[in-house]
Every structure is written in C-alpha cells, then in structure tokens.
Amino acid sequence: MLALPKDPPQSFVALMLSTLRKAFLGIALASAAINVLALTGSFFMLQVYDRVIPSRSLPTLSGLVIIVVTLFLFQGVLELLRSMLLVRVGMSLDERLNKRVFGSLLFLPTRKQTSDDGLQSVRDLEQIRSFLSGNGSTALFDLPWVPFYLILCFLFHFWIGFTALCGALLLVSLTVLAEMLSRRPALEAARSSALRLGFAQAARRNWEAAIAMGFAGRLTAKWAAMNDEYLGHQAAASAVAGALTIAARIARMMLQSGVLAVGAVLVIRQEATGGIIIASSILVSRALAPVELAIGQWKGFIAARQGWTRLAALLEAAQAERPTFALPPPSRELSVENISVASPGGRELILRNVSFKISAGTVLGVIGPSASGKSSLARAIAGLWPIAIGTVRLDRAALSQWDTDELGAHVGYLPQDVDLFDGSIAENISRFAAEMRPEPIIAAAKAAGVYDMIVKLPEGFDTKIGEGGSRLSAGQRQRIALARALYANPFLVVLDEPNSNLDAEGEAALTVALEGVRERGGIAIVVAHRPSALAAADTVMIVAGGQIQAFGPKKEILGPPPKQVGTAHFAVAGGETRG
C-alpha cells in the first residue's frame, strides 16, 4: 500500500510546503529584484525628459541607454529564472503528491461511494500544477510590491499618489468582487463536470447494452442535458471572470489617463515637471499590473484552491497508517468475529453479527438468495469494505494490523465483475510485479487451468489484452483473473461468483484449482449461485437476510447430491436458492 501520512492533511501540507521553502524564498527574492528593476522604465523617462532634453546632451542619453538595456536584460533573465523555478515547484509538488493521490484514489472506494468518474483528484493535481507554473502565481508574488509603487507615486507628488491609490482600491474591490461572484458558479461547474464525465464513463462501459436495447438515443439526450447544465455553469463562471477582467483593464487605462491629467495640472501649476508625468504614468501602470493580472487569473486561482481543498479531503478520507511491525505469513486459520458490515459511506448494515472460523485446508462455499450479503462478506474478508463492528483475523492477527500490500501478497481475490488492466497477460497474472519471474506466472496459469489457452494465443503470455481485457472473451477474462488470484500461492483465496462466465471446461478447471488450494494448506471461500462452483467445497455457509442461517460440512447442510441431472436445490432458512 502507498503509505499515507498519519498526521492530518493540513500537517502534511505544512510539512511538504516547508520542504519547498527554499524554492519559494528564491522566487520571492527574484520577484523583489524584478520589481525593483521594473522601475527602470519610469526613471529612464524621468531622466530623459528632465535632464537629457533640456541639456541636449547625447553622451548622457547614450549612457542612460546602456544602463537601461543592461538593467532590462537582467530583468529578463530574472523573470526567466523565476518562471523556471515556478515550473520546478509545480513539478516537485506533483512528484510529492501523485503517488499519494493515486493511492488515495485506489483506497477511496473502500471508505465512501462517489458519484463522479473517480478521476477528479488527478485533474485537481494537474490544475494546481498548471496554476503554479503559470502567470497566476507570478501575480501573487508581485502583489506585495503594490504598496511600494504607491509610496513612490506619493514621493513624486501627493495627488499623483492619491490618484494611484484610488485606482488600486478600485482594482482590489474588483478582485474581492471576482472572489464573491465566481465562487458559486465555479463550484457548480466543477460538480457538473464530474457528473457528466462519470456518466460518459458509465455509458462507455455499457455501450453494448445501450445499442442492443435501443436506448443509446435516450442516453445521448441525457448527456446533452447534463452537458448543457455544465456549459451553463461554465458560461456563468467565465462571464463573471471575463467581465471583471475587462473592467479591470478599462479601469487601469482610465487611471493611466487620469494620472496624465493630474500630472498635466501639476505641470501647469509648476508643481511638477514633464518627466514626472511620464514616469508616474509608467509607474502606476506597473503598480496595478499585478492586480489586473490577478483578476484575469482569478478563475484559475479559484479552480486551484478548490482542487487543493478536495485533495486534502481525499487524503483525509483515504488516510491510513502503515504498521511498524511485519507479521509472518498466515498459515493456520481465518476467524470472523461477530462482524457487522455496511457499504462504504453507508449507514444501513448489510451483514449483522456474522461469526465463523475455518482452518487451513478448507474450501468454504457461501450460498444464499440475491442481496443476502454474500458479496459484502467476501469484500469484508478480503479487507475491501470497512467493518463497522467486529474483527476479521488471520492467524489471530486482525486485518488492520497488516500493511495492505503485505496482506495482499497472502490474499487472492476474484471480484464478481472482472476487469483486467491494459497490459500483457503475464503482467495481469503477476499483479504487475516489478520483477516478473516466469515460474510463478506459469504455475498460477496451470493452477487456474488456463495455461493451454494462453500458449495457443499468437503472443502467448505477452499478448496485450487491451483496456479492461477487451480483446478477450468474458470467460477468458474470468479465468485469467482466477490465475491472478492464485498467483504466488496465497493463503486466503476469495472468489465471488467465479463461474459466472465459465463453460464446462472452465468449471472443471475451477474445481481443480480449489482442490489445489486445499491440498497445499490454504483457505478458499467461494461465493456462488450455481452449485457446480461448490464441487470442491467441504464446508458450506448459507447466508440470508444479512445473517448466517446455516454453517457446517457440505453433506450436513446440503444433504446428498441430487440424482437429477442439470438441477439442484439449496435449502435455505427462510427461502430457497436454486442453481
């Protein structure tokens, strides 16, 4: 498991930002130098109008030009360095967070249910990195220098400074207005975007049913409605940001003209020189440029801030602690002690007061009506769903005492809905092991009875199966997933409806695989509706209404095998399950 911080996300964020303190300090120093060098244009115009023109001195002008060119070159180099530093900060932030975000992405479904496509956290990290690497972050570093420029304007003349201050207050008011007006539309746009992308992903997964049963058009209409809602919120957010950006630009241009007018009045009254007029206009423009840029980038700032809030909440929801003590591999028993289970984020209990114990060398079959809690029990035993009450133990050690990756090496799990990863068959069977050794991969394939099928493929174990295993049939995917569950001989094997897509040959291979788990001293738990999956089971549990109705040897629970071919009865307390 990717270890997440034990401290709250805020503490982790503070720790992470402290490690970037030197980079931020360097950016702040570069910004200070840039803002000082930005005075070059103003003072150059002041000297030209007040000294060079009255004296008609070309050597003075030449000297000033050389100095100004040198200072502008230094300013350009510093701005380039600052830009490169900001890019590096964004990349460093991504490098520090991407594993945690991806790890949280994997573990989030075990804590709560989500209505989006599950990839919002990845987009949030990209948004934060893009904002840090762009112009929006430079505006944040330049904003503290606005008072410095205003003080210089006051040094030129009180009324010039007063005019610049009024303009600054106007732009700051526009910034506050941008925050107030754009927050809600931006939140609604983000929510609508997540919902529509989640719907698109679901439609892509179920395209066969949509086309075959003729409701693709209705799905398209629903998508169009969701997209219209998203575009409406996006347009509202963009309209607010665009209107305020234009207002800020117009206000700044009017302010520059106002400064020129005030300067002209002062020159007429002989309270200022012509150079001060031009220098003040340039200085005011530079003073208010960060504010105008901040307003223009406010939409990106809002998105980055919302993304940061969501990331912190994600890390908090998926937060887990890495145990400090490594436990030995389990080898003796599985005990389920009075557990009650609800779905992630749900309150209604699906399982109540479930207790049983099985020893090594046992194959347990779990049967019962639909929605009785069989799959929920399988997920709880595999450590996928949180346990509200009670404990699941391997060799007397609670699952919570294990590191997830270390525990996973001793667990084989086949979910009800099989979905493989884009890659080779060998990669999927080996669970994407860093070092793929052929021996355990081949052993797992043979244990699952899928070796012959694989080697008949043109590229054998190197066959690329496509996204979700799309290049394979449902039965092939299920058998390869079974091989993945049996990889490296895990002690506990949990199979949820492992024969739902299997033919007779596949079911026979499943029975052999389960017998192999028993013979090597492992534990196998098979959740099934069809009785053929229980051929290798020696113990049977009947679950109904979220509770165990019967538990014991298969012969005692189910009785002797039926004589009829092709039919089977499972007597269930309070109901009946037919295979």
CA distance 538 to 551: 11
Please count the CA atoms within 13 angstroms of the CA of 357 that sit on its side-chain side: 10
pLDDT at 515 over 70: yes
The pLDDT mean for the chain works out to: 81
Q: What average pLDDT does this structure show over 123-139?
A: 79
Find the distance separating the first CA and the last CA of the chain, reported in whole Å.
Answer: 38
Place of tokens 């790890």: 103
Q: What is the pLDDT of residues 183-204, one digit of tens each?
A: 777 778 877 887 787 788 777 7
CA distance 93 to 113: 27
Query: Among 146-160, 282-296, 466-480, whose mean pLDDT is lowest?
Result: 282-296
**Residue-level pLDDT at 139:** 81
**Residue-level pLDDT at 565:** 42
What would the two tokens of residue 289 be? Answer: 């440029």
Q: What is the pLDDT of residues 17-50, one digit of tens each?
A: 666 778 888 888 988 898 888 888 888 888 888 7
pLDDT at 491 over 90: yes
Q: What is the pLDDT of residues 57-94, one digit of tens each?
A: 888 889 889 998 999 999 899 988 888 888 888 888 77
**Residue-level pLDDT at 548:** 93
CA distance 540 to 561: 14
**Residue-level pLDDT at 43:** 83
What would the two tokens of residue 287 be? Answer: 């003073």
Question: Which of 114, 84, 107 is closest to 23 using CA atoms?
Answer: 84
Question: Which of 396, 378, 366 is closest to 552 using CA atoms?
Answer: 366
Q: What average pLDDT does this structure show over 245-264?
A: 80
**Residue-level pLDDT at 9:** 45
pLDDT at 566 over 50: no
pLDDT at 155 over 70: yes
Q: What are the chain's domains?
A: 12-318 (1.20.1560.10), 333-557 (3.40.50.300)
3-state helix, strand, coil in the chain (%, to 5): 60, 15, 25
Q: What average pLDDT does this structure show over 491-502?
A: 89
Query: Taking a C-beta distance cutoff of 8 angstroms, is the pair 284, 153 a contact?
Result: yes
Torsion sign (Cα): 93, 94, 100, 101: positive
pTM over 0.85: no
Q: State the DSSP H helix or E strand holding residue 459, giving kind and residue range, or none if neither.
A: none
pLDDT at 180 over 60: yes
The residue type found at 269 is R
**Residue-level pLDDT at 2:** 37
SS3 assignment, position 495: strand
pLDDT at 490 over 90: yes
Of the two residues 137 and 392, the one the predictor is more confident about is 392
Question: Who's near 49: CB < 8 A, 6+ residues apart?
Answer: 273, 274, 275, 278, 279
**Residue-level pLDDT at 317:** 57
For every residue of 344-405, DSSP letters joined together read TT--SEEEEEEEEEEETTEEEEEE-STTSSHHHHHHHHTT-S-EEEEEEEETTEEGGGS-HH
Query: Among 169-178, 205-214, 250-259, 390-399, whose mean pLDDT is lowest?
Result: 205-214
Place of tokens 């941008």: 178
**Residue-level pLDDT at 564:** 46
